[in-house]
Amino acid sequence: MNDIPLTHILFVSTALFFIGMYGLFTRRNMITMLMSVELILNSVNINFVAFNKYLFPEKLDGVFFSIFIVTIAAAEAAVAIAIIINLYRSHNSIDVEDAGEMKY
Amino acid sequence: MTASQIIFYLLSAFILGSGMLAVTSRKIFRSAIWLLFSLIGIAGLYFWLQVEFIAAIQIVVYVGGIVVLIIFSIFLTQKSGSEMPKPPKWRREFAILAVIFGFGFVWQLISHHEFKETSTTALDVNMANIGTQLLSTTEHGYILPFEVVSILLLAAMIGCIVIAMKKTEAV
């Protein structure tokens, strides 16, 4: 593990974050946007664990933060999918452009 | 190059490649499967970092839970065989530009920052240590966030049921 510098792991997580960002910008389907959000949360998790292992190996705080992030991501995905299914029932579509009246 | 380095670069290429396909694939079901592969790759990265507990959580919660939930909702709401409409050209170009500039900026910051590694004794990240410290009530314990998260999960569960429940006819 120690023959890879920390910056290479940070490169991977930054690239993954911006891949998720690209998905969030271009997609207009709610489920695919949710998938992009999951990618972003995962990149943050990689960061927490990598910093914990490389810079503060005597502590466990990064591990705890990633456990909490995974828990909250699970709750968020469940609520988001409940909202998506409800929206599909009332609008027959889960495209964000079709739910424009929620803006006002 | 040692075996460990080769494994790391292969895992990263796998994660980034399948992540890229997950956000660009036009068929929604394929995109969900690519997301699944990307998450499995991230679990492999955790195994490589020797945090087996997080890797197990990643597989159980993400791969076994969230992706299955996403696939269910795709089946409930979409015609999964049909292609999604292409994003308009201006939006794609704007997104690529924004992402490249953002990545360049962050990478600039990371590559010029010197990370000081503290060379104290490494703590073994095993189940016993995680459990003891997560549930301890002393200064560095995480019992309060643990309880708050459990309340949050309960609230999310009830919220999901209430939101997705079919409205009954006038009571």
* ipTM score for this prediction: 0.91
Rounded to an integer, what distance in angstroms lies between the CA atom of residue A76 and that of residue A71? 9
**Do the chains contact at B84 and A29, CB–CB below 8 Å?**
yes
Q: Of the candidates A76, A85, A93, A88, which has an alpha carbon nearest to the alpha carbon of residue B163?
A: A85
Burial of A95 (0-12, 13-18, 19+ CB in 10 A): middle
A65-69, A70-74, A100-104, B38-42: segment of lowest average pLDDT: A100-104
CA distance A75 to chain B (A): 6
**Total structural domains in chain A?**
1
Place of tokens 């995680």: B130
Rounded to an integer, what distance in angstroms lies between the CA atom of residue B27 and that of residue B20? 14
Is A1 part of a structural domain of the chain?
no
**Do the chains contact at A26 and B62, CB–CB below 8 Å?**
no
What are the CA-CA distances from residue A54 to residues A3, B122, B129 (Å)? 11, 10, 18
A12-21, A61-70, A91-100, B154-163: segment of lowest average pLDDT: A91-100
CA distance B171 to chain A (A): 20
Least CB-CB distance to A3: which of B5, B32, B123?
B5
Contact A34, A80 (CB under 8 A): yes
**Do the chains contact at A88 and B77, CB–CB below 8 Å?**
yes
Contacts B65 to A, Cβ<8 Å: 74, 77
Q: What is the pLDDT of residues B88-121, one digit of tens each?
A: 889 999 999 999 999 999 999 998 888 887 767 7
Name the residue range of residue A21's domain.
6-103
Residues of chain B with CATH 1.20.120.1200: 9-122
A17-21, A64-68, A91-95, B104-108: segment of lowest average pLDDT: A91-95
Contacts B131 to A, Cβ<8 Å: none
Contact A3, B2 (CB under 8 A): yes
**Do the chains contact at A55 and B157, CB–CB below 8 Å?**
no
Contact B76, A85 (CB under 8 A): yes
Residue B130 pLDDT grade (very low, low, confident, very high; cuts 50, 70, 90): confident
Q: Domain B9-122 belongs to what architecture?
A: Up-down Bundle (1.20)
Structure token digits, residue B171: 């009571």
Is A81 part of a structural domain of the chain?
yes
| CATH number of the domain that residue A80 is part of | 1.10.287.3510
